[in-house]
Amino acid sequence: MVAGPTARWPATRSPCSAAGGCNPDRTLTRRRITGGSVRVRSGRRPMTRRQLAALTVLCLAVFMVAVDGTVISVAVPAITEELKPSYNQILWIGDIYSFVLAGLLITMGNLGDRVGRKRLLLISSVTFGVASAVAAFAPTPELLIAARVLQGVAGAGLMPSTLALLRTVFTDDAQRMRAVGIWSAAGAGGAAMGPTVAGILLEHFYWGSVLLVNLPVVALIAAVGAWALPEARSQSRQPLDAASVVLSTSGILGVVYGITELAHIGLGHWPPYLALAAGALLLAVFLRRQRQMPMPLLDLTLFAQSRFSAAIVAQTVIVFANVGALFFLPIFLRQVNGFSALQSGLSTLPESLASLATAFNAARLTGRWGQRRAMLVGMAAGGAGLISLGLVIPLSYPAMVVPLMLMGFSFGLVVTVVSDLVLMSASTDRVGAATGISETSFELGNALGIAIVGSLVSLLYLFSTGLPANLTAAGDSGGLTTAMSGATIICGVLVLATTFVVARAVREQAVVA
């Protein structure tokens, strides 16, 4: 159909026929094209038992990977007491999982396209369970670090496979969008609940319990997934290019390591900059090689689609801003407002609950507004939430609740819309590679948020008081309030600026539930 100023509704097929009667599984679908925008209206079709089982498996997998990114930090004091690691080993225990996960997402997405996404998910889940058991009973810091590396490898195999399989399991547009929303909520809920789960377990059991809790989840994923998940793979049998794998993994690891080290040791030391430069150089060589490959590891043609590029930028920025602000808010509330550990841990609950609720209802919102408008509304809400949070930080905590809910609404909506856009931007042969790009952008936004916002808070505090931020008790707590407020407002302005960029780049293509 050719787009024009207006177009008639095309003839639709009734779910009832003279020969076969009425079939409730059929879906009335209408398309309307107006000024370049496409809107699809689908009837609400219930999920089958097999689809529900598959969705449960995929959500459990992403929930488990997200939980393990945050639980170990809570267990560090107990690990330190028992294993006696050095300071550098403590940092590696906490960070190596995320480093490896981020570095291998693109590679694992491509591997799933070639060997089969179901096969990769099942192998990765079992490997994740084995690594968790080894880590839980590790007698030395070295073995614990090695097991966390293996967990990161397995997690990188799970993440893109879960999202890519959603497209295979849910062929109906409205069903897929609802499934992506639930999947996003599972990931967000896992990251948010990790510290709480760890705290509860550590109250009653030893530190390894935060890892052993993965074992029954892995057993369920393997048992149900073997039955419920369909296999899906690319028709191409071309092997992965080893040089591309090494270049992409090393480059991303260098960048993520450099960013994280800036957060750990500050801006005045040269090793993080060396790691960043080396990582950037390796990635430049990697990108040049991809242009010459017949089946590249990173499909650069995806970025020729304005909606794909804009979606990746939007997700990176919203993750950067939200994670940066929320990572330091509990610390601020403990140091300045005198919150207890439990109170500060629960301080971000309004954001988490709003994010979960929005992700669950993203299909309905996107159906009403369209993908373009939903993404823009989400971005604008995020910018407004961050700016208003920055303005009320000098006040009491109750004033922060509404801004935090706005931020959660933004996060849940944008990440869900982006995930669905990415799924539908790639061909069925390359959907794993596309989801690997999306997951990598999420992890980079996460690392950048902690490092850059942390450095920004430190710089603003230094300018306002003349003291390093770690000397708050000796200095002026009002200075830290000013610094935290200013950094949060700057994040909000960045999100709003990105909203205007996205508005020009993304074309509306909505699915109405």
Residues 123 and 510: their CA atoms lie apart, in Å, by 35
Q: Which of 355, 382, 413, 426 is nearest to 163 (CA)?
A: 426
Cβ atoms within 10 Å of 82's Cβ, excluding its own = 13
* Predicted local confidence at residue 435, as pLDDT: 78
- Model confidence at 465: pLDDT above 80: no
Confidence check: pLDDT of 319 > 70: yes
Please give the helix or strand (H or E) that residue 385 lies within, else none: helix 371-392
Asked if 156 and 200 touch (Cβ cutoff 8 Å), the reply is: no
Spatial separation of the C-alpha atoms in residues 58 and 221, rounded to whole Å: 8
152-163 pLDDT, tens digit per residue, is: 999 999 988 888
Are 127 and 157 a contacting pair, CB within 8 Å? yes
Q: Please tell me the predicted confidence (pLDDT) of residue 506.
A: 63
Identify the H or E element spanning 292: none
Q: How far apart are CA 320 and CA 456, in angstroms?
A: 13
pLDDT at 264: 66
Structure tokens at 124: 């990765």
Tell me the CA distances in angstroms from 216 to 147, 194, 210, 220, 356, one per residue in order: 18, 16, 12, 6, 24
CA proximity to 318, closest of 415, 184, 460: 415
Lowest mean pLDDT among 34-48, 124-138, 140-154, 273-287: 34-48
| 49-58, 75-84, 85-94, 108-117: least confident range | 85-94
Query: For 421-454, what is each residue's pLDDT tens digit?
Result: 887 777 776 777 777 788 888 877 877 777 777 7
Give the pLDDT mean for 362-379. 84
CA atoms within 13 A on the CB side of 192: 22
Strand order of the β-sheet with 29-34 is: 29-34, 37-42, 509-512
Question: Biggest alpha carbon distance in the chain?
Answer: 84
E strand or H helix that includes residue 377: helix 371-392
Residue range 83-105, pLDDT digits in tens: 888 877 877 887 788 888 888 88
- Per-residue pLDDT tens digits for 224-257: 989 988 887 777 667 777 888 899 888 888 888 8
Amino acid at 1: M
For residue 20, pLDDT over 60 is answered with no
* CATH of range 301-513; options 1.20.1250.20, 3.40.50.300, 1.10.357.10, 3.40.605.10: 1.20.1250.20
Write down the pLDDT at residue 218: 94
Domain regions of the chain by residue span = 301-513
Closest to 412 measured CA to CA, from 363, 484, 339: 363
Band of pLDDT at residue 381, cut at 50, 70 and 90: very high
On the question of pLDDT at 1 being above 60, the answer is no
- Burial class from Cβ neighbours inside 10 Å (0-12, 13-18, 19+) for residue 312 reads buried
